[in-house]
Amino acid sequence: MLVIPALTWLLVFNLWPSINTVILSFTNARPIGGGHFVGLKNFETLLHDEQLRWALLNSVIYMVVCLPFLTVLPLLLAVLVEKKLPGITFFRTAFYTPVVASAVVVALIWQWILDDRGLVNGLAEKLGVISGPLPFLSDQWLLLLSAISLTIWKGLGYYMIIYLAALGNVGRELHEAAAVDGAGPFRRFVHITIPGVRGTMILISILISVSALRVFSELFILSGGKGGPGGRDNSVVMLIQQYSQGFEGNLGYASALSIVLFFVTVVPMLVLARLNRRGAEA
Amino acid sequence: MRRRRLAPVAALAAAALTLAGCGLGSDDSGSGDAKPTVDANAKVTGEVSFQTWALKPKFTSYVEGVIKAFEAKYPGTHVTWLDQPGDGYDKKVLSQASAGQLPDVTNLPPDFALPLAKQDMLLDVAAADPSIKDEYVEGGVQAYQYQGMDGTFGYPWYLNTDIDYWNATKFAAAGLDVKNPPKTFDELLAAAKTMHDKTGGKEYLMSRLPGIGDFTNAGIKILSDDGKKFTFNTPEAAALLDKYRDAYKAGYMPRDILTNEYLGNSKLFTQSKVAWTTGGGNAIQDFQKDNPSLKGKVVPSPALDTPPLYVQGLSVAAKTKNQAAAIALARFVTNAENQAAFAKIVNIFPSTKASAQDPYFSKSDGTPESDAKVLAFQSLAKAKNLQPPVISGATNDFIGQQISLAISGKISSQTALDAAVAKANQLLTQ
């Protein structure tokens, strides 16, 4: 009896939209006028959709590049700012500031920085490093790299804070004992700090993987909403948005794309969770 | 163990398939329902809702004046005016249509009206009002008539077109004569080369990618006669893209046009970064307001080849409970007198034939602003809708993406066009 409100909430706002997405993926539904059952046609179309192939490749590249950087760099930062030194609060705040800023605002600033006539190209040309502007926002791969860099820059502070909390649980006496035994800072980091925050690292890896596979804002804004030259910098979420918008939006196909995204997102989560379990058993 | 785990998944899939098989609503052809009928003799009285697009607060007094005049002309009527913000208007109309709450009279451009007309959500106003063909310009009426569908699904409200604007200073710097600007695409290309070569690649003339409108302008057939197949993947279209690709490769256009948002060329022109843009008859005022250093340096001329026709109109909801009043209101707002008054405060052009004689639109006072307005008005006579309304947002995006791949040289022009046509056909039939 007591669980009925929670259960109702769960059914209406969580489970039903998911089930409805599955239902829609087997139809040719439009925003107006409904639609009808088309069987597996949307999924057959997906198999031959070149745009989806690019989007999946971009999402995987995003994850593969972001994962090591955003797992290791924030940990190093956290170790650095953990020390109780004068003025350390300033550095903690500075590293965390990009997290507070909205993704849209940050992406717009980066667009201005990376534009052909932007800050980076302007400075590099003034210094004579380059003869012409580098196409950060108009070249397929440079645009993807720019978006990845933005994500890494913005995510550093967020994951640093999580690591800082985890580092507080690593026993200081372990470090002291290792130091007495002659272990240097590097060995202490490898043999004490890393094992101490292993669980947090796995959690962060899962969070990064999911975020990277579902990336939208950075790519959308840096590409001016167009998904880069020829739409080859689209992410899967951008494709879903493109297909579902407007009067003639194809909700059936967009739902099929959502299901693909769901499975693509679940796989790395399961792999990392299994790794975590194995590590804990070892 | 494994079988037990699979059971809920199988049940969910079965439920989904069962539910999906039930159907989701009406067939999307709209042909299953009877066409709405029109009673032209009903008395004009009662409540009627009227939805406009981003007219508040700038034109509040004008619209309120028109409404007041309508209510005075038809005693017993009461108009409820709804004005929606500029951003997200399509989403708003979409949600109203989905909920069956479309206002009685709604401002819809032809491409917004088409999907609603397909679903029998709009009234065939020509059936209620056969004089529409006599009172409004042909292009305006035709904009609301769609291939493969019978009827006219909106009263043309006001029109606009594009003319060309040139930066005189940049023309002079490149040794080009701004009094004799390019008149065709090929002349534009030649001028772009001159500007690039004479300024050491520092100045640009062109700054936009081609689109469907450019294909239409080049005489390329976009759609088959029955409106069921796209046909623009022709060698002529490929040749046009090749010209753009070569111009891009030679540096005659800024590199970031591949990712520029819509109206990029207009923004670049305002920022004095390019020497050419297209714009409406009143765009010159915006250029000079946003960048006062352009004052006296902007020279208007007729659009290259065939000018585009932009139409705004008023459609009547098929499910209106007050059909007579809704039709009367749409007619009243779009009549020659009200359109002319509106056009004088907003710099658009009336769609009524009677307005053609108005000297306000046809005579210039000699200023560049007035020249631009008259040029635009004169261009309307040969302006055409260059992009079929059947091209949806997703289709347009995909075509644009393929064009940008061709321009960047990543794929051949013919490959890009073939891919664009294949995808456009697929989206058309889905």
pLDDT in tens, B363-408: 888 888 888 989 999 898 888 889 998 888 888 888 988 998 899 8
Name residues 226-255 of chain B within 8 A of A (Cβ). Answer: 254-255
Give the mean model confidence (pLDDT) for residues B48-65: 96
Query: What number is the average pLDDT over the span A259-279?
Result: 84
Identify whether the C-beta of residue B146 lies closer than 8 Å to the C-beta of residue B105.
no
Asked if B8 reaches chain A (Cβ–Cβ under 8 Å), the answer is no
Q: Does pLDDT of B237 surpass 70?
A: yes
Q: Which positions ≥6 away from B320 have C-beta within 8 Å?
A: B48, B104, B123, B326
Grouping H, G, I as helix, E, B as strand and the rest as coil, residue A4 is helix
- Give the pLDDT confidence score for residue B30 in this predicted structure: 42
- The three-state secondary structure class of B311 is strand
So what's the pLDDT on residue A282? 60
Least confident of B77-91, B148-162, B351-365: B351-365
d(CA B295, CA B292): 6
- Alpha-carbon distance A174 to A187, whole Å? 12
Strand B46-53 and strand B276-279: the pairing is: unpaired
Mean pLDDT confidence for B329-346:
93
- Enter the pTM of the model: 0.78
Residues A190 and B166: their CA atoms lie apart, in Å, by: 65
Q: In this complex, do A247 and B21 lie within 8 Å of one another by their Cβ atoms?
A: no
Q: Which residues contact B303 (CB under 8 A, 6 or more apart)?
A: B161, B162, B163, B164, B278, B379
B314 and B90 in contact (C-beta within 8 Å)?
A: no
- Amino acid B27: pLDDT: 40
User: Is A116's Cβ below 8 Å from some Cβ in B?
Assistant: yes
Question: pLDDT tier at A131 (50, 70, 90 boundaries)?
Answer: confident
Residue B262: the pLDDT is 38
pLDDT in tens, B99-108: 899 999 999 9
pLDDT > 80? residue B351: yes
- Which chain B residues contact residue A138 at CB under 8 A? 255-256, 258-259
Distances (CA, A) of A206 to A67, A96, A212, A234, A276: 9, 21, 10, 22, 10
Residues in chain B, total: 430
Residue-averaged pLDDT of chain B = 87
Most confidently modeled range among B46-55, B279-288, B363-372, B373-382: B46-55
- Mean pLDDT for B396-423 is 92
Predicted confidence at residue B178, as pLDDT, reads 93
Whether residue A9 is predicted with pLDDT greater than 80 in this model: the reply is yes
Mutation target to probe the A interface, by most A beta carbons within 10 A, among B258, B405, B417 is: B258
Instruction: State pLDDT tens for residues A51-87.
Output: 899 999 999 999 999 999 999 999 999 988 887 778 8
Contact check, Cβ <8 Å, B256/A116: yes
Would an 8 Å CB–CB cutoff place A118 in contact with chain B?
Answer: no
Res B318 pLDDT > 90? yes
Lowest-pLDDT range of A172-176, B58-62, B199-203: A172-176
Of the candidate ranges A133-142, B13-22, B238-247, B279-288, the one whose mean pLDDT is the lowest: B13-22
Residue B174 has pLDDT above 60, yes or no: yes
pLDDT at B4 over 60: no
Distance CA B140, CA B136 (A): 7
Task: Give me the mean pLDDT over the B117-125 stretch.
Answer: 94
Given a cut of 90, whether residue B166 has pLDDT beyond it is yes
Under 8 Å CB pairs connecting chains A and B tally to: 139
Beta bridge partners of B108: B313
Under the banding of pLDDT at 50, 70 and 90, the label for residue B12 is: very low
A246 or B242, higher pLDDT:
B242
In chain B, which residues have their Cβ closer than 8 Å to the Cβ of A137?
A: 256, 259
Q: What is the mean pLDDT of residues A111-118?
A: 84
Q: How far is CA B167 from the centre of its chain?
A: 26
The predicted structure's pLDDT at residue B369: 86
* Residue B13 confidence (pLDDT): 41
Q: Which residues of chain B from 390 to 429 reach within 8 Å of chain A, CB to CB?
A: 392-395, 397-398, 400-402, 404-405, 408, 410-411, 419, 426-427
Rounded Cα distance between A263 and B182, Å, is 54
Cα(A117)–Cα(A126) distance, integer angstroms: 12
Lowest mean pLDDT among B34-48, B96-110, B137-151, B282-296: B34-48
Percent of chain B with pLDDT over 70: 89
User: Quick one: pLDDT at residue B39?
Assistant: 59
Select the more confidently predicted residue: A1 or B336. Answer: B336
